[in-house]
Amino acid sequence: MLIKGRKCTRELHRGIVHASWLSMSNTSSLWPRFQKYFVRLPKLGFAIDISRMTFEDDLFDAMAPSIEKAFADMKALEAGAISNPDEGRMVGHYWLRNSSLAPADLRAEIDDTLEATLKFAEDVHGGVIKAANGQKFTRVLVVGIGGSALGPQLVAQSITPANPPLQISFFDNTDPDGMDRVVAQIGAEIATTVTLVISKSGGTKETRNGMLEAAAAYQAQGVDFTKHAVAVTGVGSELDKYAIAQGWLARFPMWDWVGGRTSVMSAVGTIAAALQGVDVRGFLAGAAAMDAETRTRSARQNPAMLLALMWFSAGKGKGAKDMVVLPYKDRLVLFSKYLQQLVMESLGKEHDLDGKVVNQGIAVYGNKGSTDQHAYVQQLRDGVNNFFATFIEVRKDRDTAGFEVEPGFTSGDYLQGFLRGTRKALADKGRESVTLSIDEVSAYSLGVLVGLFERTVSFYATLVNVNAYHQPGVEAGKKAATDFLKQMGQVLASLPASGSGVTADALAGQIGIDPEDAWHMLSHLSANGRVKIATLGETPSADQFLRV
């Protein structure tokens, strides 16, 4: 890691001393600065403008060693290095859109899987693959969580037709009421619904629960779930074995070298996308095109490296500033949430690659403009200056013929006016922003954006020396949850069936667990008719519980 030493830190700070130009922007044009820090890729329909970030030009020199290392790390990663050392895994999501880069033994599998997912969708659309009742499928239900839901959700929101060939629904949680609501909305159409159960490990509890809830919903209407169920999971996983044993409609592989948060271009994303009529090959081509550009361009002309440097400069390499994502386009509202997962789960790490405690990360939030101007932009301009904004501009207004809402101006002119106006209003108050522009929202351009941010995350991870491809912090919560459930079983088993009831303290003491946990379990169970509150006391320790 090259930027750790004292000298480098000093060098670096030269580069990110905050310039005075922002406060001048009320009066003087930033046209020269804009052109200096504006990179456009017309073939990709993409441009990036970092002129409203407060770095100074020597940032590039100060960071040169780190930049070189980031390029070298990426080269090694794309060549199949074990870039996820904690899990001993390769990192191959870049291969999904260009299999010729992948290790030779993986190429055929990547290509074949893509073909198979597209063929599956084609067969569903053509009625070759049908519902158990012999009718065509009309809906798709995705059961997954994290990357296994958010990728398909992003695609569904942003690049599907308004009325796609199959409508999509999601079970993306283990909330019984949430699933009931989705089932009620699907209604009798469940008889023509295909369900994708997506879990890389095949052991994610929320998804296992969702699968069982889905199966129950089919059964309740007398439909054979197995004839409607498709698994997307690692070969040989628990889910894979289950799908084989039950004779599911189809199975597609996931690989350990693709992380959940970067899986949207694997079968995780492509099946649902293809079922909804998305141009999947265009989506992959957009990402491949951005990959190609950001693989070879020098730092100053490289959108992904520019973005990584801006993240570094804004947050002093420590995530000191939140990233607020503001796409001015309804279709892209979930892109903010997609980046929240991609960036925070990749970069939010306790240790660096040398084992030092660093507590890295960048907090990400946002929805869409101009809507958010009527929500929290008040704080962005006037309040705590703890963020930098990322505007996403879409130049094309609409596919239909527009009209003027007042002489000379369309709704889309207003949308652009609000973006430019807000960017200026923020800059006038010393609030930093990056602006990305795309020509239109399409499968291709969404691929361009996904490719850009994936590579930015990879680059930034080198700049701050963390492993961007694991998520060790998630395990602690899962383990605590498992303990909690095990103890809940003990609590239920130890409850008296009669008498005046027992307190959480007494029960916890008997079992040897924390009385606070016992009390919460009992309160939850009583709200669901599985435990009776004999006495509601003045304080939790005075509450008394009985078996129902």
Q: How far apart are CA 221 and CA 240, in angstroms?
A: 25
371 sits near a copy of itself (criterion: CB under 8 A): yes
Window contacting a copy of itself (CB under 8 A); options: 8-16, 110-118, 291-299, 435-443: 435-443
340 sits near a copy of itself (criterion: CB under 8 A): yes
Q: Give the x-and-dash track for 83-122 against a copy of itself (CB under 8 A).
A: ----------------------------------------
Place of tokens 């100053």: 300
Q: How far apart are CA 450 and CA 289, in angstroms?
A: 11
Q: How many CA atoms lie within 13 A of 140 on its CB side?
A: 28
353 sits near a copy of itself (criterion: CB under 8 A): no
Contact 440, 279 (CB under 8 A): no
CB atoms inside a 10 Å sphere around CB 371: 14
Contact 148, 260 (CB under 8 A): yes
Residue type (1 letter), 268? V
318 sits near a copy of itself (criterion: CB under 8 A): yes
534 sits near a copy of itself (criterion: CB under 8 A): no
304 sits near a copy of itself (criterion: CB under 8 A): no
SS3 content of the chain, % helix, strand, coil (to 5): 55, 15, 30
165 sits near a copy of itself (criterion: CB under 8 A): no
Window contacting a copy of itself (CB under 8 A); options: 63-71, 100-108, 128-136, 471-479: 471-479
Active site residues: 345, 374, 478
For the record, the structure tokens of 81 come out as 């290095």
Closest CA to 117 of 281, 286, 288: 281
Residues 378-407 that bind a copy of itself (CB under 8 A): 378-387, 394-400, 402-403, 405
CB of 198 to a copy of itself, least distance (A): 12
Q: How far apart are CA 184 and CA 217, in angstroms?
A: 9
Q: Which is nearer to a copy of itself, 61 or 483 (CB)?
A: 483
373 sits near a copy of itself (criterion: CB under 8 A): yes
520 sits near a copy of itself (criterion: CB under 8 A): yes
Choice from 69, 93, 200, 208 touching a copy of itself (CB under 8 A): 208
Residues 120-149 that bind a copy of itself (CB under 8 A): 145-147, 149
Sign of CA dihedral 172, 474, 80, 343: positive
Q: Which is nearer to a copy of itself, 102 or 150 (CB)?
A: 150
Q: How far is residue 121 CA from its own chain's centroid?
A: 24
DSSP 298-339: -GGG-HHHHHHHHHHHHHTTTT-SEEEEEESSGGGHHHHHHH
Q: Which is nearer to a copy of itself, 13 or 398 (CB)?
A: 398
Closest CA to 422 of 390, 395, 397, 385: 390
Q: Which is nearer to a copy of itself, 110 or 508 (CB)?
A: 508
Residue 311 burial (CB < 10 Å; 0-12/13-18/19+)? Answer: buried
Sign of CA dihedral 362, 364, 370, 376: negative
CB of 488 to a copy of itself, least distance (A): 6
Q: Which is nearer to a copy of itself, 126 or 489 (CB)?
A: 489
CB atoms inside a 10 Å sphere around CB 134: 8
Window contacting a copy of itself (CB under 8 A); options: 4-12, 122-130, 476-484, 495-503: 476-484
Q: Is 529 left (phi over 0), alpha (psi -120 to 50) or beta?
A: left
Choice from 80, 165, 277, 412 touching a copy of itself (CB under 8 A): 412
Q: Which is nearer to a copy of itself, 99 or 226 (CB)?
A: 226
Residues 478-507 that bind a copy of itself (CB under 8 A): 478-485, 488-489, 492, 505
Choice from 68, 111, 112, 350 touching a copy of itself (CB under 8 A): 350
Q: Which is nearer to a copy of itself, 250 or 314 (CB)?
A: 314
For the record, the structure tokens of 46 come out as 């993409």
536 sits near a copy of itself (criterion: CB under 8 A): yes
CB of 385 to a copy of itself, least distance (A): 6
Residues 210-269 that bind a copy of itself (CB under 8 A): 210, 212-213, 216, 260-261
Q: How far apart are CA 162 and CA 136, in angstroms?
A: 20
27 sits near a copy of itself (criterion: CB under 8 A): no
Choice from 319, 447, 451, 501 touching a copy of itself (CB under 8 A): 319
Contacts of 108 (CB under 8 A, 6+ apart): none
Residues 30-69 that bind a copy of itself (CB under 8 A): 30-31, 34-35, 38, 40, 42
CB of 108 to a copy of itself, least distance (A): 31
Choice from 409, 510, 535, 548 touching a copy of itself (CB under 8 A): 409
CB of 492 to a copy of itself, least distance (A): 7
CB of 532 to a copy of itself, least distance (A): 14
Contacts of 138 (CB under 8 A, 6+ apart): 166, 167, 189, 192, 193
Residue type (1 letter), 264? V
Window contacting a copy of itself (CB under 8 A); options: 14-22, 86-94, 114-122, 340-348: 340-348
Q: How many CA atoms lie within 13 A of 480 on its CB side?
A: 7
Place of tokens 């994303």: 269
Q: How far apart are CA 162 and CA 149, in angstroms?
A: 20
Q: Give the x-and-dash track for 172-201 against a copy of itself (CB under 8 A).
A: xxxxxxxxxx--xx-x--------------
CB atoms inside a 10 Å sphere around CB 344: 17
Q: Give the number of residues in contact with a copy of itself, rule: CB under 8 A.
A: 147
Q: Is 146 helix (H, G, I), strand (E, B) or coil?
A: coil
375 sits near a copy of itself (criterion: CB under 8 A): yes
